[in-house]
Amino acid sequence: MKPSIKNYLTLTLAGLSFFCAQQSNAQAFPSKPVHILVGFAAGGSGDMLARMTSEKLSQMWGQPVIVENRTGSSGSIALGAVTRAAPDGYTLGMLNFAQVVAGELMKLPFTIETDLTPIAGIAQQANILVVNSALPSTTVADLIQHAKSKPGELSFASGGSGSPGHVAGELFKLKTGTNLVHVPYKGGPPALQDVAAGHVSIMFAPAPPALALLKGGKLRALAVTSNTRSTFMPNLPTLTEAGIDYDVRDWHGMVGPAGMTGELVAKISGDVLKVLAMPDIKKRIADMTGEMLACNPGDFGKLVTSETVKWRTVVKEAKISAN
C-alpha cells in the first residue's frame, strides 16, 4: 500500500516539530543553573579562567554558573564526571594541555577525543626555558652545545613525573638529541626554587612564578616555549628561532559531554566567545601572562586532536610514566 499525501504531511510536520523543538531548546538554554567542572585546585590558571568566564555567562544568561573544583588524577576526575553527564549543556568542563598528557599516561575509562564535545578555546600561556644564573649558557644554542659536550651532566626539574614540565623537557631532549637528567619534585614551586638555588640546572617553568625569580636575578631566561614570541616577554626569543621545531603552550578550553546538539554547542560557544571579546576579560587574561585563544568548536577540536597525537608520540618515544 502506497503512503498517502496525508501520511507524508504527517511525517513532515512531525519532523518539523522535532526540529523546532530542538531549536527552541537551544534558544531557551539555560533555564536552570549550569556547572563548570575544573580538575585542579582553586587559584590555578584553569580555575581563574573558568571563574571569570562563569561570572560573565551568569550575567548574560540570568542563571547561576557554578564552578566546581573536582581535583585528582591530573584533572581526569572532573573530565570523567563531564563524560557521564547528560548532553544538555548543564554540565560543562575545562580541558587543558596537562589533561591531554594525563590521558596518554593513564588508563582512563573515557577518551578525550570521543567522549567530550569541544565548545571553545579560551586562553593559552607559554612557559619559559630558564636556567640557574650561574650556568654559563646564555642562549639556547649554548645550552645545547653544553649538554652535548657533557652528556648526563645537566639536569632539568619538573613538578613530577608526567607533569607538563616533564613532558616539555622530554620533547626538548628528543628535538635536540641531548641527554638531560630529569629530577621530579612534588609540585612546581619547590622545583623552581631548586633551579634558582643551583641544585638543578634547567626548568621549563610556568611564567608567573618564574618572572619573580628572573627579576631577582636568580634565574636566566633563554626562550619561551611557544613557536611565536609572547606578548608578556616580547624580547625573549622562541625555541623555534634557535632552529628547534618546538611549540609547547599551556592552553585551556571548554568542553561538554559527547552527544550535544549542534545548536546547543553553537549557543554556548557563541556566548563564551562574546565573553572573551570583553575588554576587561582581555585585560585579566593578559595580567595572568596569558594570551587569547578564543576559537570556535571546530578549531578547538582540531587543537585537541593535534595535541593528543603530539603528546602520544612523546610519551611513547621518551618512555614517560606517571607518578
Within the chain, all domains assigned CATH 3.40.190.150 are found at 33-122+251-318
Indicate the CATH number of 33-122+251-318 among 3.40.50.360, 3.40.190.150, 3.40.462.40, 3.30.70.1400. 3.40.190.150
Q: What is the CATH number of domain 128-242?
A: 3.40.190.10
| pLDDT at residue 5 tops 50 | no
Report how far residue 132's alpha carbon sits from residue 156's, in angstroms, rounded to the nearest whole number: 10
Task: Return the sign of the alpha-carbon dihedral for residues 163, 167, 168, 170.
Answer: positive
Which tens digits make up the pLDDT trace of 71-117?
A: 999 999 999 999 999 999 999 999 999 999 999 999 899 999 999 99
Q: How confident is the model at residue 27 (pLDDT cuts 50, 70, 90)?
A: low
The pLDDT, as a whole number, for residue 283 is 96
Cell numbers that stand for 184 in this block: 621530579
Q: Where are any strands of DSSP class E within 207-247?
A: 219-224
Task: State yes or no: pLDDT of 237 exceeds 60.
Answer: yes
Locate cell 547528560: which residue?
86
Predicted confidence (pLDDT) at residue 241 exceeds the cutoff of 90: yes
Cβ partners under 8 Å of residue 276, min gap 6: 53, 120, 122, 123, 282, 292, 294
pLDDT at 232: 85
Q: What is the pLDDT of residue 282?
A: 96
Query: Which string of b and e fits 263-294 if b means at least 16 CB within 10 Å?
Result: ebbebbbebbbebbeeeebbeebeebbbbbbb
pLDDT value of position 321: 81
pLDDT at 11: 44
Contact 123, 96 (CB under 8 A): no
pLDDT per residue over 42-76, tens digit each?
999 999 999 999 999 999 999 999 999 999 999 99
Residue 26 banded pLDDT, cuts 50, 70, 90 = low
CATH 3.40.190.10 maps onto the chain at 128-242
Q: 182, 158 in Cβ contact below 8 A?
A: yes
pLDDT at residue 9 above 50? no
Answer whether residue 3 shows pLDDT above 70: no
**Cis before 3 (ω within 30):** no
pLDDT band at 271 (very low <50, low <70, confident <90, very high): very high
Instruction: Please give the span between the terminal C-alpha atoms of the chain, in angstroms, as a whole number.
Output: 67
Those residues whose C-beta lies under 8 Å from the C-beta of residue 297, and which sit 6 or more positions away, are: 117, 118, 119, 120, 265, 266, 269
Exposed/middle/buried for 28, CB within 10 Å: 0-12, 13-18, 19+? exposed
CA 219, CA 51: separation in Å to the nearest integer?
A: 32
pLDDT of residue 323: 60
Entry pTM: 0.88
Residues in contact with 81: Cβ distance below 8 Å, sequence separation at least 6, in sequence order: 37, 70, 91, 93
Q: Give the whole-number percent of the chain exceeding pLDDT 90.
A: 83
Q: What would the mean pLDDT of 314-319 be, rounded to a whole number?
A: 94
Beta-carbon contacts of residue 218 (< 8 Å; ≥ 6 apart): 132, 133, 196, 197
CA dihedral 235, 241, 246, 252 (to 10 degrees): 30
Strand order in the sheet with 155-158: 181-184, 155-158, 202-205, 128-132, 219-224
Q: Which of 22-26, 133-137, 164-168, 189-193 has the lowest mean pLDDT?
A: 22-26
For 169-177, what is the mean pLDDT? 97
Residues 297, 118 contacting (CB under 8 angstroms):
yes
In three-state secondary structure terms, 163 is coil
pLDDT at 29: 96
Q: What is the pLDDT of residue 18?
A: 46
